[in-house]
Structure 1
């Protein structure tokens, strides 16, 4: 049975419009490369429900923001909205007490530490490094991830010395996008130098690329993939820009799933042996279902907050499925917070 026929037989996907030529091309490619097992990530950053997967509570793998909901850049694609579901933690001492309580009372296995940027795309983590170091000393099982922002070698090493396990950085491939969307006067080279500095430490480095970051147009994604391919990263996470976050006077085009899939295929082919995953952010509804289906067929190693039908599709084309209650960039190797 062809993959097109397979999709037509899955109730959640049967009414979707997928490009039959693209589906056939992905199927042909899969004949030459055995598709890996698929990990489905359901961290507790936000509410999530799916009939094919088990639910997980808010405290299974939380995200904390050191700036609450504030971000000085206020980038056009985000407007600081991604910080809203995170637990605000403006005081390091309170943050430490909260994490220790979660470990003791709820069996916490890990967390993400994030926050808004200053005008140079730097996140104010310095006051939190001693806390992270103590938490890692007392609870060595904790998996700790951080969004780095832009930094130099000394600050990258400070992250590593504190005990951070996984560092994440958005890689942007076009200077024009950095200026227009990020409101930031920094070149593409600064993003690559940050990636290089992180990769020189013992931390696992998982860069992210936002497809359609330039107001929904593809601009610089191919260059961003090339940048990532030049460095020893442990995985790449792709996300798709979500237009509803944008300000009314700077609307974003919705990236068609087929355009997103072109980046999926390029990344999967360019990063040989490196896991490629679909992260939390992408447009909702039928768009998400089509996008996720393409990611499954393109051989992505993981998908965060998968759409309905993903489990059925993966199994139908011979891909075993595993669920983890963790951020897709911070795999807990099966030690998720929910049974």
Structure 2
């Protein structure tokens, strides 16, 4: 069975801070925030289209210590949760107090698992943070939020889903990705979402190359070999389009990846040709 995700159909994205961000990471520079809705826009959409959307990705710009200032926005979180929407939090290095505050409203936490000090300090501009801070936060979230659950598809799942981005150092892939995969293999999440760096206009990295595809596939292969006994792999929404994605999706599928956000035509054709069962989901892949 393979899973295809089309999240914009039933998941809204909100930036709690609008376009404001104190970090302005090299790969984002608040460009992705500008594509998200504001809180006011979300409430208007929900009022005008009752029942159309099932979930919200809760995100926003970071403070200088690497987290979305979640406590300032609890009224909004409580309101949309009370409307029956599932909430997927993408909110960074939250403290224990903040994790406990959002716990009653969490369907999932999508956590950027960064196990590379160069990325943390040079790309994210978090000069006083290390890979140990990211791992500690992930494990704290997993302990507090808890929940090895089983979804409708029978997949064992955790409410805290680590995401990794291959090639985030201006398209470079090195031992940082290797170390990240090794560490995740050690702590055994039930699902890993793999993204691939996209050079984005308006960022310091806009002129960087896309990551070498063969190196990306090597990392995907390693991730599968190191984690397949305990972990399902998905390819997330960030990965280059065009011929790059066509080949990436097909080869990743052959390597054992089971889920794809906005799958390429080449992959859809291959899966159909092979007669494999396909399940379609219209929300964030972490919400499966």
The answer to whether TM tops 0.5 is: yes
Residues 26-68 of structure 1: CA deviation (Å, up to 9, x unaligned): xxxxxxxxxxx11111111xxxxxxxxxxx4xxx211111111
Given the alignment of the two structures, is residue 66 of structure 1 paired with residue 33 of structure 2, yes or no?
no
Q: CA deviation at 1:324?
A: 1.2
CA displacement 1:70-101 (0-9 Å, x = unmatched) = 22211111222222221122xxxx47744752
Give the match's secondary structure for 1:287: helix
Matching of residue 265 in structure 1 with residue 208 in structure 2: no
2: CA distance between counterparts of 1:250 and 1:105?
38
* Deviation at residue 232 of structure 1 after TM alignment: 5.3
TM-score, structure 2 as length reference: 0.86
Q: How many aligned positions are there?
A: 273
Confirm or deny that 1:175 pairs with 2:117: yes
Residue matched to 2:26: 76
State the shift of 1:313 in Å: 1.1
**Distance (whole Å) between structure 1 residues aligned to residue 43 and residue 130 of structure 2:** 39
Q: Structure 1 residues 191, 74: closer, same or farther in 2, change over 3 A?
A: same
* Aligned pairs (5 A) from 1:243-322: 243-245=199-201, 247=203, 251-271=207-227, 272-322=229-279
Q: 1:237 maps to what in 2?
A: 193
The alignment's C-alpha RMSD in Å is 2.2
User: 5+ residue gaps in structure 1?
Assistant: 1-36, 45-55, 332-339
Gaps of 5+ in 2: 147-158
CA distance in 1 between counterparts of 2:73 and 2:137 reads 20
Alpha-carbon distance, 1:118 to partner: 1.3
Question: C-alpha separation between the residues in 1 aligned to 2:259 and 2:203?
Answer: 31
Query: What is the match of residue 42 of structure 1?
Result: 6
Q: What is the TM-score when the length of structure 1 is the normalising length?
A: 0.74
| Aligned equivalents of 2:202, 2:115: Cα separation in 1 | 20
1:166-187 CA deviation, whole Å, 9 max, x = no partner? 0111112221221111111111
Aligned-partner SS, 2:94: coil
Q: Please point out which of 162, 166, 173 is paired with 1:207.
A: 162
Which residue pairs with 2:68 in the alignment?
123
Q: Distance in 2 between matches of 1:257 and 1:169?
A: 24
CA distance in 1, matches of 2:131, 2:286: 23
Q: Which has the larger radius of gyration?
A: 1
CA distance in 2, matches of 1:176, 1:236: 21
Matched residue SS, 2:173: coil
**1:147 pairs with 2:90:** yes
Q: Which moved more, 1:312-321 or 1:213-222?
A: 312-321
CA deviation map 1:267-290 (0-9, x unaligned): 112222322100011112111111
